[in-house]
Amino acid sequence: MPGYTDPGFDTLSLHAGAAPDPATGARAVPIHLSTSFVFESSDQAAALFNLERAGHVYSRISNPTNAVLEQRVAALEGGIGAISTASGQAALHLAVATLTGAGGHIVASSALYGGSHNLLHYTLRRFGVETSFVRPGDIDGWRAAARPNTRLFFGETVGNPGLDVLDIEAVAGVAHAAGVPLLVDSTLTTPWLLKPLEHGADLVYHSATKFLSGHGTVVAGIVVDGGSFDWAREHAASGRFAELVAPYPGFHDMVFTDESTVGAFLLRARREGLRDFGACLSPHSAWLVLQGIETLSLRMDRHMANTHQVVEFLAAHGFVARVGHPLLASHPSHALARRLLPRGAGSVFSFDLKGSRAQGKAFVDALQVFSHLANVGDSRSLVIHPASTTHFRMSDEALKAGGIGQGTVRLSIGLEDPDDLIDDLRRALKAAEKASPKAGA
């Protein structure tokens, strides 16, 4: 029987991390727009700086509003704590930079958000960190890609763009056998649809810009530690993860795994990563994400119900060649999604028109309810045509290699009346069908 200290998801969504403000009685979480916090005494100041006492010093390192968000997302994910960051990309970078450096190696899913792929494939390579990409469902491929200098396995709960579902338990098993943690990007599914830590992942992060916030008003990220990976044991076995197990000269020779048996990652990530890279989150942004999380399960339920109807409509439409959602039995991840994601595999997916690049553009231009923009996870329905926008420089052949066709369209299904969404799509599909295959191509 759940009690107040064993609450359900919705109670945590509203209450985790937040009590009425002791100074004012304010029930909602106050926005602490203050760079810094007054010390009670010189002794307290020194103790805070030396991690002898816990509290806030400077908002790049921590802030009371951000701390509520961090506790709340950690609670919803089943973790031990979290760090909020300036964006989802900053959360990924913080996790990677805490665990590896020049000479390190990452094994990542090949089905990643483009920004994550850029970071791993181009930018981190410039800093001496190599990444091997494997198809997310190729379990032998994950195993074969691990090297003695591998520090991290990384994938998305549902991969971009085809929604390949990550078999978290299987990939975590391979990661742990190789002596490394599994980091999972859970942006598109949120803890309401899937809690990766329960399935064996060690670290989870979100672009909170998307469904956690849910209103398209804020850019934010957050990384959660499950407290499950034994850095000290792995260091003893292979010498890896000295960042967490050997004395750190950058912070009084602290040995993070001595300080905290389960929380060494978060200690170092905050004390080094936030301190030195500085990609902290504005408290105002943290507050906006908290507003979104209060209704997360309600919104996700509606996102999924609407997605169900839209997917069924598109799958039955004559001008649609393919719908890439695991709801459909034809999707390669259908069975895995039913097991891991019984509430649904998210509301962001792509489908292919039976048409040209020009007809794809005509489809997008004819939509009235869907907004044409480069985001997902808004309360409003969104659309983008990769071949004419995000991937417009690519040749037809290169697009095909990336799993993107001339007529591929990505949708993010929002919270509007589903009948309106379907009407809008029906009208736009008709317009695309009538448009010249070559006009404007």
Partner 1 sequence: MMELQVHGNTTWCYSAGKAFDPAKPTVIFLHGALNDHSVWILQTRYLAHHGWNVLAPDLPGHGKSAGPPPGTVEAGADFVLALMDACGLQRAVLVGHSFGSLIALAAAARAGHRISHLVLVGTAFPMKVSQALLDGALHEPLKAIDLVKRLSHSTLAPPPSTLGPGTWVLGGSRALMRRVLASNPKLNVFYAGFKACDDYRDGEAAIQSVSAPTLFILGKRDQMTPPKAAQSLIAHARNASVTLLDAGHQLMAEAPDGVLMALREFIAD
Binding site for partner 1 (CB under 8 A): 3-7, 11-12, 15-19, 46-47, 50-56, 62-64, 66-68, 70-71, 74-75, 78-84, 226-228, 230, 232, 247, 252-255, 258-263, 266-267, 270
Closest distance of CB 258 from partner 1, Å: 5
Task: Pick the closest to residue 177 from 264, 277, 107, 247 (CA basis).
Answer: 107
Task: Pick the closest to residue 426 from 357, 387, 370, 372 (CA basis).
Answer: 370
Closest distance of CB 53 from partner 1, Å: 6
Angle between helices 283-293 and 64-77 (to 10 degrees): 40
- Kindly tell me which of 17 and 159 has the beta carbon lying closer to partner 1: 17
- Kindly tell me which of 5 and 395 has the beta carbon lying closer to partner 1: 5
Contact status, residue 75 vs residue 206, Cβ threshold 8 Å: no
- Kindly tell me which of 84 and 297 has the beta carbon lying closer to partner 1: 84
- Kindly tell me which of 128 and 247 has the beta carbon lying closer to partner 1: 247
Closest distance of CB 249 from partner 1, Å: 12
CB neighbour list of residue 410: distance below 8 Å, 6 or more residues apart: 161, 348, 349, 350, 376, 383, 384, 385, 386
Closest distance of CB 152 from partner 1, Å: 19
- Kindly tell me which of 268 and 303 has the beta carbon lying closer to partner 1: 268
Closest distance of CB 371 from partner 1, Å: 34
- Kindly tell me which of 26 and 439 has the beta carbon lying closer to partner 1: 26
Closest distance of CB 224 from partner 1, Å: 9
